[in-house]
Amino acid sequence: MSDADAARPDAAPPIQGVRLALDWGQARIGVAACDARGTLAHPVETLNARDRGQVLARLRALVAEYEPTGFVLGLPRHLNGHEGVNARLVRDSAAWLAAQFPEVDVRLVDERLTTVTASAQLRAAGRTARQQRGVIDQAAAVAILNAALDTERATGRRAGEPINERTPE
């Protein structure tokens, strides 16, 4: 908490612990992480979503390395707020993730326009569409995590919808 926040009587205490964000698509999963104070999100890697065994192995390694208190998955919604087929994929993946890592909080956060935002930022940094392919999912995961961290700082509560259903595949 900054000195300015500490001076405000209504300031929420910061939520501690590393969070891993996942931008879970049909082909790729972008991964981002934040520091233990929840200050800054950074890209980690992109996983092949079509290989569930590889996804599980890499996520186990990332959980061992980062020791996260939570996973934040971007929930794709249409601009009108309705959920489509891709949202069902993410909800199913979140339940699977919760079953695989029962010690880690799993939450869904609205990810509308995060890929658009990430692409615009990469374009502004001089990357062409072709150069973005390998990192766009990571950049979207960073945008998802930053939005969640902003919400947590504002409210003092974990961002997103908790996933309590812990079903294996």
Going by pLDDT thresholds of 50, 70 and 90, the confidence category of residue 38 is very high
Domain ranges for the chain = 15-162
Residues whose CB is less than 8 angstroms from the CB of residue 18 and which lie 6 or more positions away in sequence, other chains included: 33, 34, 35, 36, 66, 67, 68, 69
More confident residue, 57 or 3: 57
Going by pLDDT thresholds of 50, 70 and 90, the confidence category of residue 11 is low
pLDDT at 9: 47
User: Rounded distance, CA 147 to CA 110, Å?
Assistant: 9
pLDDT at 137: 86
pLDDT at 5: 47
**DSSP bridge partners of 22:** 31, 73
Model confidence pTM above 0.95:
no
Query: Quick check: 61 pLDDT over 90?
Result: yes
pLDDT by residue (tens digit) across 108-167?
998 865 666 655 665 666 655 565 566 778 888 999 999 999 999 999 899 999 998 655
Six-digit token pair at 62? 């990332």
User: Which of 16-25, 92-101, 160-169 bottoms out in mean pLDDT, i.e. has the lowest?
Assistant: 160-169
pLDDT at 81: 73
Strand (E) positions, 3-64?
A: 19-24, 28-34, 41-48
More confident residue, 13 or 47: 47
| CATH number attached to the domain at 15-162 | 3.30.420.140
Residue in the structure block whose two tokens are 């910061």: 14
